[in-house]
Amino acid sequence: MRFSPLLSELIDSLTCLPGVGKKSAQRMAFHLLERNREGALKLSTVLHNAMEHIRHCSQCRTFTEKDLCEICAHPQRSESGVLCIVESPQDVLAVEQTMAFDGTYFVLMGHLSPIDGIGPEEIGLTILESQLKENPVSEVILATNPTVEGEATAHYIAQLCAKYKIKASRIAHGVPVGGELEYIDGNTLTHAFSGRRTL
């Protein structure tokens, strides 16, 4: 017997969060009711606003609640002339956290995957091409994932850049800093060897 239909509904709803099963949802519901109703009410409001207002940046396609995201709207960054291409907004966040890049981004929201019917149009390459034509940059950095699809996507965009005589580069793949050789997979190690640099 459910002693509170509303509580059951709350537990069900919480399982829409990734990685949250029935047991965790129960723990969350009771925690919020007993100890943090204020935080839960805040979360309710922010969730609503985020889902209603966050769309894609009209220029780089990352998530933003404005027409242009804060990076595209930043004059120094758009004047840098360097465009970094990534698969997802999460990747933008990861690169931003390094604070090592001060250009702008273009977010594919996926990668080429002919089997799933995802071609150049679906990952925004028509938009990217017209941007490159109208507003040529000095360098395009291809930061798609080091997977088969990510590599194919990078290769496709490199050809697009060649057409407009724009320099395209690929981020380096190799042994992570602090990583130990014996624990690295063979594929990464192969990349690390073929990408070796003279000291």
16 binds a copy of itself (CB under 8 A): yes
* Cα 134 from Cα 138, distance rounded (Å): 13
Show Cβ contacts of residue 144 under 8 Å, excluding neighbours closer than 6 positions.
85, 86, 87, 108, 111, 150, 151, 153, 154
Phi/psi zone of residue 172: left (φ > 0), alpha (ψ -120 to 50 degrees), beta? beta
114: its two tokens: 């002919």
When binding is defined by CB under 8 A, the residue of 28, 158, 160, 189 that contacts a copy of itself is 28
What is the footprint of a copy of itself within residues 88-147 (CB under 8 A)? 88-90, 92-93, 96
95 binds Zn ion (CB under 5 A): no
Q: Which stretch binds a copy of itself (CB under 8 A): 58-66, 135-143, 160-168, 179-187?
A: 58-66
Q: Which residue has the tokens 């209603």?
A: 52
Q: Which is closer to a copy of itself, CB of 76 or CB of 198?
A: 76
Which of 92, 30, 32, 36 has the alpha carbon at shortest distance from 61? 92
157 within 8 A of 168, measured Cβ to Cβ: yes
Q: Which is closer to Zn ion, CB of 97 or CB of 198?
A: 97
47 binds a copy of itself (CB under 8 A): yes
40 binds a copy of itself (CB under 8 A): yes
When binding is defined by CB under 5 A, the residue of 10, 72, 128, 143 that contacts Zn ion is 72
Q: Which does 31 bind (CB under 5 to 8 A by kind): a copy of itself, Zn ion, none?
A: a copy of itself
Q: Which is closer to Zn ion, CB of 60 or CB of 140?
A: 60
Instruction: Encode 176-195 in three state secondary structure.
Output: CCCCCHHHCCHHHHHHHHHC
* Cα 141 from Cα 158, distance rounded (Å): 9
Q: Which is closer to a copy of itself, CB of 74 or CB of 191?
A: 74
Q: Which is closer to a copy of itself, CB of 113 or CB of 170?
A: 113
